[in-house]
Structure 1
């Protein structure tokens, strides 16, 4: 039977949820629909049908993301992409991605798309680059800080969710303009991020909320009573602080909780806690990809962020999936601000759009991509200058799955 594709309506949400659940091998829970409805933008979702059966789908959330030096910009937050078992290897995902990316280009709204990948091998073929990663961190309870760490004199206390939420939102919004990779959060997005029904807990406790005048922390506990006493796991969901002292004080609080054996956290790849510790080896870390970034329109995307140094280079960009990006672009940065113009000049650097997406947030160096044979320098010395311009002061980090 011929496959068809169309944009969804609000009435399609139940069928769309069933497709998503089937693709991710989940049991469908009908009462979860209302939570989805708060962030579901049907006019920005597509689905593929085999006759009357919806067999694949995917969509976009209209969000903002902080980019280096320029604060929040509109981002197409790609979400809920999946194909039902039994219908794979039929070109369904390719058709969805083409409709989505070509549609974004035609609308002219967001110049950049980003997603979390269920499998890292899927999205590079659609032009997404590995742009950020997070650290799986584990630190034993009581791990000491190095001498001289200041915690300040402010009190850290646990409060109810209702008391915590206004303070957390205020801290988050004050930090968001300078934290690369952070997303804006509506009330609905906060609700999804900190969903706390029994089915959300995975056998852990409800969330606990910790406030400092300049920050907050959110955590759960996985109970573990052993013969020598309790060794529970403390699972941090998020720490945010306006000052270094507040950050250290919040970490000190969770590291000193009684009956805990270890603190675990999916945190930024450059989380300074490793350097707060007197014994850095106590912080066990493993790295995993988080954000994958795709430049929908190279010329519009590159001028949205700022850069760390001046550069003038001709980039030859290859992009088979979105051919309007292909060709040669003169990329010029002066005092942090970029201009991009299509030219016919000889290239200084040759790369594909995937490499540009990987470097866009400043967390992946173009020089490293060159060593991986994803970028080729033509004019000696230009690549190093270009890589320095793209690099950021902080590693990008997104603590929110979308």
Structure 2
């Protein structure tokens, strides 16, 4: 079988953006829209995007956004936010994705770039083979309108106001920046990222209304409405995009406001897996929750990555790490934590815990227990007690959550 011309790979230039956008959109079975090109351009770092060509035809690629992610205990640290990964229909199963992944990860290592990469996966079976581990989940929350809070919940006296987008945006940015250093999994946002995340053309709405913005003196909420008028009256759905607040009281006040919006049947929200709303409600069962994967994390360099965050307890173990795709990580590493800070050294000592880099990435943000991964046969304890000690040290004080798809 003739597979056509030899495939080549290179980084992109600013002039490549229109064709790259068309290929990525086609890979996701989406139409390309010219007016979205400028929105992409604000996020596009051509030197951090790789594309594979069959002759002169661009057939697939992927990019990196230079962002920060909040890590347990240390706050924002650089992350290679992998985005816009796709292969043109008709060119699958030719190794295109593998070449892009190798160029990204090996490039980060060779150039001393970010110690970790992260992405949202279009299909959950794709990225584990490149060493990405499931590090965070979100909750698909559904709560009926009017659900009562339990006795004793304070929402304060400050009023929540509906405002215009122009009035809301500066406040939202300020609140987000105040909160980001303490929220594991949150990403830095440039002005272009804010515009992209809250894009509000008819195409962006998916059959819902334009965004509504609600401000509290200490927080904000953004939401859309999906209309549903039934014979017995309106049962509209209120789809929350984001809630953020500097205080617990303000968070409760914003939830109370949203749950009391007239002509709504139900509130829906893709939220943090440990969102406190269940414990705010008088009847916790009214909050229906389903969980799904969100962030997948890839450890680029074991020694650099493990020293960038803090840990919940002291531990001293030797890890035997397997990593076929990035072989510089495949080694035995002494991982020592004292007073929250870690040191990592390559050693020849006998291992205490055996695991692969995917498991290490899954546990990195503190939301996935290594003990659970051991039950799934991804981690093996060699020295009795070592696994529990390591798993406990890695756990964070909160579930990691990324409030945006990038």
- Shorter-chain TM-score bucket reads over 0.9
Write the distance in 2 (CA, Å) between the matches of 1:228 and 1:394.
42
| Aligned pair partner of 1:258 in 262, 265, 277 | 262
Query: 2:362 matched to which residue of 1?
Result: 358
- Is 1:104 paired with 2:112? no
Query: 1:113 matched to which residue of 2?
Result: 117
Query: 2:304 matched to which residue of 1?
Result: 300
Write the distance in 1 (CA, Å) between the matches of 2:380 and 2:278.
35
Give secondary structure in 2 for the equivalent of 1:80.
Answer: strand
- Is 1:71 paired with 2:75? yes
Write the distance in 1 (CA, Å) between the matches of 2:163 and 2:33.
31
Give secondary structure in 2 for the equivalent of 1:19.
Answer: helix
| Aligned pair partner of 1:331 in 315, 332, 335 | 335
Write the distance in 1 (CA, Å) between the matches of 2:120 and 2:49.
17
Write the distance in 2 (CA, Å) between the matches of 1:161 and 1:89.
44
Query: 1:269 matched to which residue of 2?
Result: 273
Give secondary structure in 2 for the equivalent of 1:26.
Answer: coil
Write the distance in 2 (CA, Å) between the matches of 1:385 and 1:154.
45
Write the distance in 2 (CA, Å) between the matches of 1:200 and 1:20.
17
Which runs of no fewer than 5 residues in structure 2 stay unpaired? none
Give secondary structure in 2 for the equivalent of 1:137.
Answer: strand
Query: 2:248 matched to which residue of 1?
Result: 244
TM-score when scaled to structure 1? 0.99
Query: 1:146 matched to which residue of 2?
Result: 150
- Is 1:321 paired with 2:325? yes
**Offset of 1:7 from its aligned partner?**
0.7
Which runs of no fewer than 5 residues in structure 1 stay unpaired? none
The C-alpha deviation readout for 1:212-265, integer Å capped at 9, x for no partner, is 111100000011111111110000000001111101000000000100000000
- Is 1:282 paired with 2:267? no
| Aligned pair partner of 1:8 in 9, 12, 19 | 12
The 5 Å alignment of 1:188-227 reads 188-227=192-231
Pairs aligned (count): 402
CA RMSD of aligned residues (A): 0.5
Write the distance in 2 (CA, Å) between the matches of 1:365 and 1:119.
23
Give secondary structure in 2 for the equivalent of 1:101.
Answer: helix
- Is 1:32 paired with 2:36? yes
- Is 1:383 paired with 2:387? yes
**Offset of 1:331 from its aligned partner?**
0.2
Query: 1:230 matched to which residue of 2?
Result: 234
Query: 1:137 matched to which residue of 2?
Result: 141
Write the distance in 2 (CA, Å) between the matches of 1:134 and 1:57.
27
Query: 2:186 matched to which residue of 1?
Result: 182
The C-alpha deviation readout for 1:5-59, integer Å capped at 9, x for no partner, is 0110000001100110110000111221111000100000000001110000101
Give secondary structure in 1 for the equivalent of 2:122.
Answer: coil
Write the distance in 2 (CA, Å) between the matches of 1:129 and 1:53.
32
| Aligned pair partner of 2:91 in 87, 110, 120 | 87
The C-alpha deviation readout for 1:162-205, integer Å capped at 9, x for no partner, is 11111111110110000000001111000011011111001111
| Aligned pair partner of 1:343 in 331, 347, 358 | 347
Write the distance in 2 (CA, Å) between the matches of 1:5 and 1:109.
20
Give secondary structure in 1 for the equivalent of 2:129.
Answer: helix
**Offset of 1:142 from its aligned partner?**
0.2
